[in-house]
Amino acid sequence: MLNISHNKLNKKVDLSSYSSAQKVFHKRHFKHFNRFLIAFAILTVIILFLPWTQNISSRGNVTTLTPDQRPQTIQSPIPGRIEKWYVREGDFVKKGDTILFISEVKNEYFDPNLVNRTGQQIKAKERSVSSYNSKVSALNNQISALTNERVLKLEQAQNKLMQSRLKVKSDSIDLEAAKTNLQIAERQFERTNTLQSEGLKAMTDVEEKRLKLQETQAKLISQENKLLAAKNEVINAMVEINRLKAEYTDKISKAQSDKFTAESNQFDAEAQVTKLENAYTNYEMRNDMYYIKAPQNGFINKAIKGGIGETFKEGEQLVGIMPSDYDLAVETYVDPLDLPLIHIGEDVRVQFDGWPAIVFSGWPNVSYGTYGAKVVAIENFISPNGKFRVLLAPDESDHAWPEAIRVGSGAQTIALLENVPIWFELWRQLNGFPPNYYQPANSSNSKDSK
């Protein structure tokens, strides 16, 4: 009951006579209780000044340190049909072991002798290239022979032209001699005719001189004809030279045209050979792709495509494999607000799912069941869950991680930040302030050294 009356009951009634009051109202009891309160207050004050490690807690999962050690699926680069399985789920396979055999589903690859037939086509085309090469060599020889023949023919024509010009000179000299003989014959005839009119020469002498004059005139005309014929021979020699040039130019041009045609066919055949060789190599590699092999040592997790005769497209997942050799790591996600507080090389405590632990987030040294880790990578772009991914590797200076944990299991991470008093941490939590922004000592030293 509330003590609101002016009539004090405890003053009118003596409670000390009751046994219960004797047990409760005891001076020694109050003394012990007061000592307890004082000791608790002193202990609380001392605890408030103890160091507390600020931290960022988040969820994560176990993964591997390098991408090639993570679970993967095996795909086929070509479409096909499953014909035979060589492994079971859970089997251990080595790199290069055959996992399954597939067959072809495209009609252009159905021919079992496709590679051999392509090889025969390559040999035929190579022989065609060799034939064109021989034809080009023969045409080169023909062009060389025609060129040499043209040189000789032109020299022969030039010699004939020179002979014709010399003959023109000779005939022109003979013509001049004939003209001189004609003048002499004319003077002799005139003198003889004059002497005959004076009676000093007989008529027979005059007739002889007239005959000789006529013969000389005939020789002059004949010599003029010879000169014209010689000049005509010069013209014919020049025409012959031009004809030879045109004739051999036409022959050499035709031979060169045939040569270029043969070279073009040769290059086309070589291109076809290269194309066939490319197809031959592709067919060989495609035949090797019929056997799906293990890319690395590992365990077969799950056959995604099962059965016999099931078809699939290129790039479809066929079977999952887990590498046997891997380095464990933990990937965790932090809020964007806490990202500036995470730095490469910082210490992180990890609690794995299924492993009992007693965690004191502010006192990592007294936590039980947690394992040490260090930050090795921080993602620069936000993840689909709205947080930033951080990769953690085992701390070699701490206890080794359990061997029984597997990739994909869950983990709780605690990133250790700055040491502050407990009272400051309580005040920060009550006010909803973020942890103190700070830079590690090694990063500041590196900046100073730079």
Which structural domains are found in the chain, ordered by start?
1-48 (no CATH), 54-69+326-449 (2.40.30.170), 72-104+290-322 (2.40.50.100), 114-288 (1.10.287.1700)
Sorted by sequence, the CB contacts under 8 Å of residue 93 that are 6+ apart come out as: 87, 99, 294, 297, 298, 299, 300, 321
Please name which of 45, 98, 125, 34 lies closest in space to residue 426, comparing C-alpha atoms. Answer: 45
Secondary structure (DSSP) of 246-268: HHHHHHHHHHHHHHHHHHHHHHH
Q: How many other CB atoms are there within 10 angstroms of residue 302's CB atom? A: 14
Q: Give the number of C-alpha atoms closer than 13 A to the C-alpha of residue 439, restricted to the C-beta side.
A: 8
- Enter the tokens of residue 201: 């020469």
Residue 319 scores a pLDDT above 90: yes
Q: What is the 3-state secondary structure (H, E, C) of 321-367?
A: EEECCCCEEEEEEECCCCHHHCCCCCEEEEEECCCCCECCCCCHHHC
Lowest average pLDDT, out of 76-80, 165-169, 315-319, goes to 165-169
Candidates 314, 318, 292; CA nearest to 304 is: 318
* Rounded percentage of the chain residues whose pLDDT exceeds 90: 29
pLDDT band at 49 (very low <50, low <70, confident <90, very high): confident
User: For the segment 201-236, what is each residue's pLDDT rounded down to a tens digit?
Assistant: 777 877 787 788 788 888 888 888 888 888 898 899
In sequence order, which residues have a C-beta less than 8 Å from that of residue 107 and are 6 or more positions away? none
Task: Say how far apart CA 341 and CA 333 lie, in whole Å.
Answer: 13
Max CA separation in the chain (angstroms) = 225
Kindly report the backbone phi and psi dihedral angles of residue 402, in degrees, each rounded to the nearest multiple of 5, phi listed first.
Answer: -60, 140
Rounded Cα gap, residues 276 and 269, in angstroms = 10
Mean pLDDT of 380-408: 88
> Helix count (H) and strand count (E) of the chain?
7, 14
pLDDT number for residue 273:
92
Specify the higher pLDDT residue, 16 or 157. Answer: 157
pLDDT band at 392 (very low <50, low <70, confident <90, very high): very high
Q: Say if CB 395 and CB 48 are below 8 A apart.
A: no
Which pTM value belongs to this model?
Answer: 0.57
Residue-wise pLDDT for 415-430, tens only, equals: 776 677 778 777 777 7
Percent of the chain with pLDDT over 70: 85
Q: Which residues pair with 64 in a beta bridge?
A: 328
pLDDT of residue 320: 92
Q: 113-132, pLDDT tens digit by residue? A: 888 999 999 999 999 999 99
Put residue 310 in one of left, alpha, beta given phi > 0 → left and psi -120 to 50 → alpha.
beta
Point out the least confidently predicted range of 109-113, 241-245, 262-266.
Answer: 109-113
Contact residues for 254 (Cβ-Cβ < 8 A; gap 6+): none
- pLDDT band for 87, please (50, 70, 90 cuts): very high
Residues in contact with 49: Cβ distance below 8 Å, sequence separation at least 6, in sequence order: 421, 422, 423
First to last CA, the chain: 76
The pLDDT of residue 445: 41
pLDDT in the model for residue 207 = 79
> Quick one: pLDDT band at residue 318, thresholds 50, 70, 90?
very high
Inform me whether the pLDDT recorded for 368 exceeds 60: no
Q: Which among 45-59, 95-109, 356-370 has the top mean pLDDT?
A: 95-109
Higher-pLDDT residue of 191 and 3 is 191
pLDDT number for residue 446: 40
Inform me whether the pLDDT recorded for 327 exceeds 60. Answer: yes
Residues pairing with 372 in the sheet: 349
Residue 99's CB is within 10 A of a number of other CB atoms, namely 20
pLDDT of residue 375 exceeding 80: yes
The CA distance from 266 to 271, in Å, is 9
pLDDT averaged over every residue in the chain: 83
Render pLDDT for 329-356 as a digit per residue (tens, 0 to 9): 999 998 887 787 788 888 888 888 877 6
Contact indicator for 370, 357 with CB cutoff of 8 Å: yes
pLDDT for the residue 444 = 44
Residue among 263, 272, 256, 253 at smallest CA distance from 132 = 263
- As a whole number of angstroms, the distance between CA 196 and CA 214 comes to 19
For residue range 129-162, what is the model confidence (pLDDT) as tens digits?
Answer: 999 999 999 999 999 999 999 899 899 889 988 9
For the segment 273-304, what is each residue's pLDDT rounded down to a tens digit? Answer: 999 999 999 989 888 889 999 999 999 988 88
What is the pLDDT, as a whole number, of residue 421?
78
